[in-house]
Chain A
Amino acid sequence: DQQVKQNSPSLSVQEGRISILNCDYTNSMFDYFLWYKKYPAEGPTFLISISSIKDKNEDGRFTVFLNKSAKHLSLHIVPSQPGDSAVYFCAASGGSGKAAGNKLTFGGGTRVLVKP
């Protein structure tokens, strides 16, 4: 049972334009959401996060939006740069309440290609 889904396996965008990555979840107990970026042969790098008590969090070029009623979050990258080309994972935590500890449940990833 995939509790976190990224339905778009890939995304291609022109440099300078907006990249929008989407993520859906099914477990209503998730209370914290994160986005990670991953280059080949490296571990994921933390980008930005959002608590379930918020609906938006912004950090420089990255903004994450959370729609709890739709169980949907998105990551906006504006403007997109060639160095943003990577695989992006959304992750969720808190799915079993405190018993979950720091466990993260990941989506399948979206490969982003930013064209110069």
Chain B
Amino acid sequence: KAGVTQTPRYLIKTRGQQVTLSCSPISGHRSVSWYQQTPGQGLQFLFEYFSETQRNKGNFPGRFSGRQFSNSRSEMNVSTLELGDSALYLCASSLAAFDYEQYFGPGTRLTVT
């Protein structure tokens, strides 16, 4: 069974631009979560989607948004990019509504210049 895939793997953007990252969960998984990893803040929860509904959101500004499609694929969007948004963005999927064992993709490395 294929794992979680994320595209693109690497991205360079300029301050003020916006970016969309994509995540395809493991087949059959219905929950998708997004995390941001930075050297200073570690791994921080962004948001989680289940059956196209956002169930939970971390402490991030409204510039960070996401959505989930009917096939469970998910996208996250960051508008008006700031230098501090440079990070590894990780997507994780799990099978069910309350299934804490999450499986991570390789991440998208975003660099904002």
Using a CB–CB cutoff of 8 Å, the interface residues on chain A facing chain B are: 32, 34, 36, 41-46, 49, 89, 91, 93-94, 98-109
Task: Check B104–A49 contact: CB distance below 8 A.
Answer: no
The answer to the question of B74 belonging to the interface, with a C-beta cut-off of 8 Å to chain A, is no
A107-B41 Cα distance, complex, nearest whole Å: 10
Chain B interface residue bracket vs A: 20 to 34
A94-B98 Cα distance, complex, nearest whole Å: 9
Task: Check A103–B48 contact: CB distance below 8 A.
Answer: yes
Of the listed residues B33, B56, B102, the one surrounded by the most CB atoms of chain A closer than 10 A to its CB is B102
Residues of A within 8 A of B48 (CB): 101-103
Task: Check A45–B104 contact: CB distance below 8 A.
Answer: yes
Chain A residue with Cβ nearest B105: A43
A108-B101 Cα distance, complex, nearest whole Å: 19
Task: Check B102–A102 contact: CB distance below 8 A.
Answer: yes
Residues of A within 8 A of B102 (CB): 46, 102, 104
- Complex partner residue of A99 from B43, B56, B99, B104, CB under 8 angstroms: B56
Chain B residue with Cβ nearest A93: B100
B56-102 interface with A by 8 A CB criterion: 56, 58, 90, 92, 94, 97-102
> Lowest 6 CB-CB distances: which A-B pairs, in order?
A43-B104, A101-B55, A106-B43, A93-B100, A101-B56, A32-B100
Task: Check A41–B106 contact: CB distance below 8 A.
Answer: yes
Task: Check A89–B43 contact: CB distance below 8 A.
Answer: yes
A92-B105 Cα distance, complex, nearest whole Å: 19
Task: Check A104–B33 contact: CB distance below 8 A.
Answer: yes
Chain B residue with Cβ nearest A42: B106
Shortest distance from the beta carbon of A25 to any chain B beta carbon, whole Å = 14
Chain A residue with Cβ nearest B107: A43
Task: Check A100–B56 contact: CB distance below 8 A.
Answer: yes
5 pairs from A and B in contact (CB 8 Å cutoff): A34-B100, A46-B101, A101-B97, A103-B56, A104-B45
A47-B102 Cα distance, complex, nearest whole Å: 11
Task: Check A44–B50 contact: CB distance below 8 A.
Answer: no
Of the listed residues A36, A101, A103, the one surrounded by the most CB atoms of chain B closer than 10 A to its CB is A101
Residues of A within 8 A of B101 (CB): 34, 46, 49
A107-B55 Cα distance, complex, nearest whole Å: 22
